[in-house]
Amino acid sequence: MTDPKQRITEAEAIEQAKQGHEAAFETLYQLHKRRVYSLCLRMVSNPAQAEDLAQEAFLQLFRKIGTFRGESAFSTWLHRMTVNVVLMQLRKKGLPVVSLEETLEAEDEAPRKEFGTEDARLTGSIDRLQLQRAIDRLPPGYRTVFVLHDVEGFEHNEIAQIVGCSIGNSKSQLHKARLKLRDYLKFMRAEKAKTG
C-alpha cells in the first residue's frame, strides 16, 4: 500500500481500476504481488522468468478488469489466470506440464530406507531455502502438481481441469513429487552434515 491516507478496499480498487486510475491498479498489485510472484517462481524456478510471468499475469488481469463482475473472488480469478499464464509458458517451451504416467510404478512402492534408521525421519521443521531448492530440482511435471496442490492449495479436480489430466494422474504425480522431495531433503541434510 502507498500513502496510508489513500488506502482503499479491494472492491473499491477494482471499481476505480475500471475507471483507469493508476493508484487503484497499484493497490491491486500490492495486495496480490507476493502470491502471484511466488507461484510463478515455484513453477519455473527462475527469478527473472518468474518476474516476466508475474508481469504478464497482472497485465492480462488488468486488461480484463472491466469484465470482472464479482461472481467469484478476485484473488481466485487472478490465481487461476496466473496458473494459466505459467502453464502456457511451459507448454511453449515444450516442457511437460504433467507426466503421462497414470499409476504408481513397482519401484516406488516400498518405503525408502536409504539413510539408515538413525536418521530415517525428517525431524523438526524443514529449512525453507532447502525446501525451495528441493522443489526446484523436481521434474517439471511433478513440480507443477506439487506447487498447485501443496503450495497453492488447489484440489485434485481443479488441477486435473487446469492441466488437462485425470484426477488419478494428479494424485499419482503429487505422491511421487513428495517422495522425491523427501529423498532430496534427506540427501541435502546428509551432505550438510558432512560439510559441517
By CB under 8 A, name the binding residues for another protein.
1-5, 19-23, 25-26, 29, 33-39, 41-42, 47-48, 50-51, 54-55, 58-59, 62-63, 104, 108-113, 117, 120-122, 125-129, 131-133, 135-136, 146, 150-153, 171, 174-175, 178-179, 181-182, 185, 192, 195
Nearer Cβ to another protein (47/96): 47
Question: Residue 94 or residue 153: which is nearer to another protein going by CB?
Answer: 153
Among 117, 108, 102, smallest CA distance to 168 is for: 102
Give the nearest distance from C-beta 44 to another protein in angstroms.
12
Least CB distance to another protein at residue 91 (A): 23
The smaller minimum CB distance to another protein, of residues 20 and 164, is found at: 20
The span from the CA of 56 to the CA of 45, in Å, is 17
| Least distance CB 121 / another protein (angstroms) | 4
DSSP codes, 82-143: HHHHHHHHHHHTT--SS-S--S--GGGSSPP-TTTTTT-S--SPPPHHHHHHHHHHS-HHHH
Find how far residue 29's CA is from the centre of its chain. 18
Coarse DSSP helix, strand, coil percentages of the chain, rounded to the nearest 5 percent: 70, 0, 30
Q: How far is the CB of 53 from another protein (least distance, A)?
A: 10
CB closer to another protein, 36 vs 98: 36
Which CB atom, from 82 or from 90, has the smaller least distance to another protein? 82
Determine the Cα–Cα distance for residues 178 and 155; give it in Å rounded to an integer. Answer: 16
Residue 187 beta carbon to another protein: minimum distance, rounded to whole angstroms: 13
DSSP one-letter code for 155 = -
